Amino acid sequence: MFAIAARRMGYRVHTFSPGNDTPTGQVADVEINASYHDLEAVRQFAKGVSVVTFEFENVPAATAEAASEYAPVRPDGLILHTTQHRLREKTFLAKNGLPVTPFRPIHCLEDLRAAVKELGYPAVLKTAGFGYDGKGQVKISSVEQAESAFGSVPLQEMVLEAFVDFQSEVSVVAARDLNGVFAHWGVIENRHCNHILDISIAPADVSSKVYDQAIKITRTVLEKLNVVGLLCVEFFLTQGGDLLINELAPRPHNSGHFTFDACVTSQFEQQLRAVCGLPLGSTQLLRPAAMANLLGDLWQNGEPNWSAACAYPEVKLHLYGKPIPNPGRKMGHLTALAHSAQSASEIVRAARAALLVEQ
């Protein structure tokens, strides 16, 4: 989606990843297929471009550093380093006085025993690195469960978090340009299913106090990290009406995919503008919108019924071009536009359900 936005504005796109025929590669002018650890290949790649950005935060810090020898990397590799590791990220947030889910670092079984005593049950045990879409985390409600979960991944650094009984989950996707100008798309409401984002709704139905607080926190995060590019803050809104930061993503975010169809400037075009040194575009929401993810599970009984979803005239279909529809894999999404966020959410669900209607 970034490559599409870039091509539309006349840029040539080169992509580097360990994969072949990737969604970006299908749109890009040049697709380099090499390991992130092949730093010579990374340097060669960086020599051929004017600026480097990323859409995946598990790019190793050394890779970003090698690229930065030949082209500016935006956001900076240090931001990747902080946000790709839950402990570093949470420590950074706590140090800056930002509200974060109560957590404890876990390096061994003793740490875990002590941490559950302090945080109580239920709690969520997460690997410090390489988690996404709920992978690498488990909700625990007993020491035995904790020990068996921990036993299955004994060599990794982990984080124990208090389980937050939230009233809702919300996010703010924001951008910051080379001159420090800040822009955001407001507060987005997110519903998860099996720890994977299922539906995003914009605008979120939150009080102006929560709205202002969410934007203020997000702005502080982008400024403290000195982000040039995009960053998403995922929040829990507690039963008491407080915001706690769940995690950060220094890139376009799934909860901001609706901006492609519903806003004057999409998150992808904004990333492009920010990293290429252009002024930011308007983030105005043209119409209330809802986005529904399309997971590989939808392919269980063969090709989904695309025609049935496209029969909803205000629903837009996005398929990423990933070859194998594994269960839980994000293959695409639908966006619905309507007169209200609630109505958009109903339409997008109906359109997704229609994908399973027999053709």
Q: Does 163 bind ligand ADP (CB under 6 A)?
A: yes
How far from 138 is each of 85, 111, 132, 271, CA to CA, in Å?
Answer: 17, 17, 12, 33
- In whole angstroms, what is the distance from residue 169 CA to residue 174 CA? 17
| Among positions 72, 134, 203, 277, the unique one binding ligand ADP when judged by CB under 6 A | 134
133 touching ligand ADP, by CB under 6 A? yes
Size of the site for ligand ADP (CB under 6 A): 15
Contact between 89 and ligand ADP by CB under 6 A: the answer reads no
CA angle (344, 350, 355) in 5-degree steps = 130
End-to-end CA distance of the chain: 29
Exposed / middle / buried, residue 179 (Cβ in 10 Å: 0-12, 13-18, 19+): exposed
Instruction: For residue 164, state whether it binds ligand ADP (rule: CB under 6 A).
Output: yes
Cβ of residue 280: shortest distance to ligand ADP, in angstroms? 26
192 binds ligand ADP (CB under 6 A): yes
Q: Residue 131 Cβ, how far from ligand ADP at the closest point, in Å?
A: 5
Taking the least distance from each CB to ligand ADP, the nearer of 191 and 219 is 191
Q: Would you say 79 or 164 has its CB closer to ligand ADP?
A: 164
Q: Say if residues 19 and 282 touch (Cβ distance below 8 Å).
A: no
CB 186 within 8 A of CB 219: no
The contact pattern for ligand ADP, residues 292-331, with x = CB under 6 A and - = no contact, is ----------------------------------------
Q: Does 99 bind ligand ADP (CB under 6 A)?
A: no
Q: What is the DSSP string of 60-83?
A: -HHHHHHHTTTS-BSS-HHHHHHH
Task: Specify the pairing of strand 158-162 against strand 103-106.
Answer: antiparallel
Could you tell me which stretch among 18-26, 125-133, 291-299, 330-338 binds ligand ADP (CB under 6 A)?
125-133
27 - beta bridge partners?
Answer: none
Site of tokens 């599409």 = 4
| Interface pick for ligand ADP out of 131, 252, 288, 325 (rule CB under 6 A) | 131
User: Helices in the chain by DSSP H: which ranges?
Assistant: 2-8, 39-47, 61-67, 77-83, 86-95, 109-119, 143-152, 208-225, 259-262, 267-275, 306-310, 341-354
User: Given candidates 189, 234, 261, 269, which one binds ligand ADP under the rule CB under 6 A?
Assistant: 234
Any contact of residue 55 with ligand ADP (CB under 6 A)?
no
Smallest separation (angstroms) from ligand ADP to the CB of 133:
5
Question: Under the criterion CB under 6 A, does residue 124 sit at the interface with ligand ADP?
Answer: yes
The region of 158-166, 207-215, 292-300, 304-312 touching ligand ADP under the rule CB under 6 A is: 158-166
Candidates 55, 76, 177, 247; binder of ligand ADP (CB under 6 A) is: 247
From the list 149-157, 162-170, 181-189, 280-288, the region that binds ligand ADP by CB under 6 A is 162-170
Is 57 a residue that touches ligand ADP (CB under 6 A)? no
- Candidates 56, 43, 46, 38; CA nearest to 14 is 46
